[in-house]
C-alpha cells in the first residue's frame, strides 16, 4: 500500500495536470508500429505446438485407459513416451 499523505497526493495530481503527459502519449503512428503492438500479447512459437501435442496425448491416454478398463485390463499401466514428437510436424487442428 502507498504511504502517500493527502498533501503529497494533491501535489502529485497538480504536477500531472500541469505536465499533461497524455498529450504526448499517442501510441504507434505508423502502420508498422501498429502492427508491432498488435502482437504484444502473442504467445506463439513451438510452445503452442507442444501444448497442443500434450493435450492430444492426454486425450488419447484417457481413451486408452477407458478402453482397457472396459476390456478388463486393470493390471497393465499405459504410459506414453513422447521423446520422438517433433512439434513442428504436428497437425495444427
Residue 26 inside a domain? The answer is: no
DSSP 8-state symbol, 78: P
Residue 28 inside a domain? The answer is: no
Q: Which structural domain range is residue 53 located in?
A: 46-84
Cα angle: 53, vertex 84, 81; to 5 degrees: 75
Residue 65 inside a domain? The answer is: yes
Q: How many structural domains comprise the chain?
A: 1
**pLDDT at position 55:** 93
Reported as a single tens digit per residue, the pLDDT across 4-33 is 999 999 999 999 999 999 888 888 889 999
Residue 90 inside a domain? The answer is: no
Q: How far is residue 80's CA from residue 54's CA, in Å, rounded to a whole number?
A: 10
pTM of the model: 0.34
Sign of CA dihedral 83, 87, 89, 91: positive
**pLDDT at position 93:** 45
Reported as a single tens digit per residue, the pLDDT across 53-78 is 999 999 999 998 888 888 876 656 65
Residue 58 inside a domain? The answer is: yes
Amino acid at each position: 500500500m502507498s504511504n502517500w499523505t493527502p498533501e503529497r497526493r494533491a501535489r502529485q495530481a497538480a504536477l500531472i495536470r500541469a505536465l499533461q503527459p497524455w498529450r504526448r502519449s499517442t501510441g504507434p503512428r505508423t502502420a508498422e508500429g501498429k502492427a508491432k503492438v498488435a502482437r504484444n500479447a502473442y504467445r506463439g512459437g513451438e510452445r503452442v505446438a507442444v501444448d497442443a501435442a500434450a493435450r492430444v496425448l492426454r486425450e488419447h491416454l484417457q481413451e486408452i485407459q477407458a478402453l482397457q478398463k472396459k476390456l478388463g485390463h486393470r493390471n497393465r499401466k499405459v504410459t506414453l513416451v513422447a521423446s520422438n514428437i517433433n512439434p513442428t510436424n504436428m497437425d495444427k487442428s
